[in-house]
Amino acid sequence: MLTGLDAGEKFSLSFTFSHGENLLKGELYKDPRVQALLSKSFSGKLQVIFPVFNLERGIFYPDVEDVLGGCLEAGEFLAELYNAGFLSRKLYDKVVCCPSCGSVNVSTRYSCPYCKSFDIIKSSLIEHIKCGCMDVEEKFRLEGKLVCPKCHGELTKRDVDYRRAGVWCTCRGCGKSFDMPVAGHFCRECRHVFLFEDAVFKEAYVYKLNEAVKTEFLVGAIPSQVFIVIFSFKFTLLFAASL
């Protein structure tokens, strides 16, 4: 999603730059798509480019696709501009993909370490500080109150009468209890079950215009035909705003 200056100010990032960033600049400045993107950037309409995610397409940049005339390869286009030094970027998110079919329609399953079933119950552990009784929260619940199942004292003040001592899980499949389930993934498209070591990750970046490109514009280092396109775009915006 493309955002304005306010969103850019709120999203404070430390951006990195590609080495060898000047290799492709000369040719890319002549690209109408690059000129259109620069026009929006210099006009103030485009300050920070955030990725959008959905289960059908995964990671994509819809407003950049509009600049490209509906092209779906906006991610590759932005990566090319980053490598050429036009843009800086910051890692924003990582998406888990199925190693079998490549789908991003993947869920996380927390499973029993004994029988591998994901039909588990997560409970909070409570410790009665006075008598030392520790059990799952359900054992302390009585008529809407917390009551110690051992000494029957009512617990009203957290960290005074009682403390929360972590989590405890019980498997409905085998009946065993444990504190740490095994994390895995399930692909809803091809029904493939896989663990972390087999997961595939796709990186999503936030992009913004490289400050060096702004400097090139100010000192006149940008090719004249690009300058004219950008200037014309800004003049059109100013003229429309005065009407």
Q: What is the mean pLDDT of residues 217-227?
A: 52
Residue predicted with more confidence, 215 or 199? 199
- Please check whether residues 17 and 62 belong to one and the same domain: yes
Q: What is the mean pLDDT of residues 159-178?
A: 94
Share of residues in the chain with pLDDT > 90 (%): 53
Residue 108 placed within a domain: no
Which residues, other chains included, contact 55 with Cβ-Cβ below 8 Å and sequence gap of 6+? 104, 105
- Please check whether residues 47 and 158 belong to one and the same domain: no
- DSSP category for residue 16: B
Q: Mind listing the pLDDT tens digit for each residue in 141-162?
A: 998 899 999 999 999 999 999 9
Site of tokens 């006075």:
130
Residue 188 placed within a domain: no
What pLDDT does residue 71 have?
66
Do the strands 162-171 and 177-178 form a parallel or antiparallel pair, or are they unpaired?
A: antiparallel
Site of tokens 């359900």:
138
- Please check whether residues 132 and 208 belong to one and the same domain: no
Do the strands 177-178 and 106-111 form a parallel or antiparallel pair, or are they unpaired?
A: unpaired
Q: Mind listing the pLDDT tens digit for each residue in 76-89?
A: 999 988 988 888 99
Residue 63 placed within a domain: yes
Query: Does residue 44 contact residue 230 with C-beta atoms inside 8 Å?
Result: no
Query: What does pTM read for this prediction?
Result: 0.68
Distance CA 66, CA 136 (A): 54
Which residues, other chains included, contact 179 with Cβ-Cβ below 8 Å and sequence gap of 6+? 166, 167, 168, 169
Residues forming beta bridges with residue 128, ordered by sequence position: 162
Phi then psi dihedrals of residue 79, to 5 deg: -65, -40
Q: What is the mean pLDDT of residues 12-38?
A: 62
- Please check whether residues 117 and 90 belong to one and the same domain: no
If residue 217 lies in a helix (H) or strand (E), which one and from where to where? helix 211-219
Distance CA 164, CA 126 (A): 5
- The boundaries of the domain holding residue 156 are 113-180
What pLDDT does residue 218 have?
58
- Please check whether residues 137 and 53 belong to one and the same domain: no
What pLDDT does residue 25 have?
66
Q: Mind listing the pLDDT tens digit for each residue in 226-241?
A: 444 444 444 343 333 4
Q: Mind listing the pLDDT tens digit for each residue in 103-156?
A: 999 999 999 999 999 999 999 999 999 999 999 999 999 988 999 999 999 999
Q: Of the candidates 127, 145, 180, which is a domain's last residue?
A: 180
Residues forming beta bridges with residue 134, ordered by sequence position: 127
Distance CA 168, CA 109 (A): 16
Indicate the number of domains in the chain. Answer: 2
Which residues, other chains included, contact 237 with Cβ-Cβ below 8 Å and sequence gap of 6+? 43
pLDDT band of 27, cuts 50, 70, 90: confident
3's tokens? 């955002």
What pLDDT does residue 105 have?
96
Distance CA 5, CA 196 (A): 38
12's tokens? 């404070």
- DSSP category for residue 148: -
Residue 120 placed within a domain: yes
160's tokens? 């005074």
- Please check whether residues 7 and 86 belong to one and the same domain: yes
Residue 138 placed within a domain: yes
Distance CA 96, CA 104 (A): 6
Site of tokens 């026009």:
39
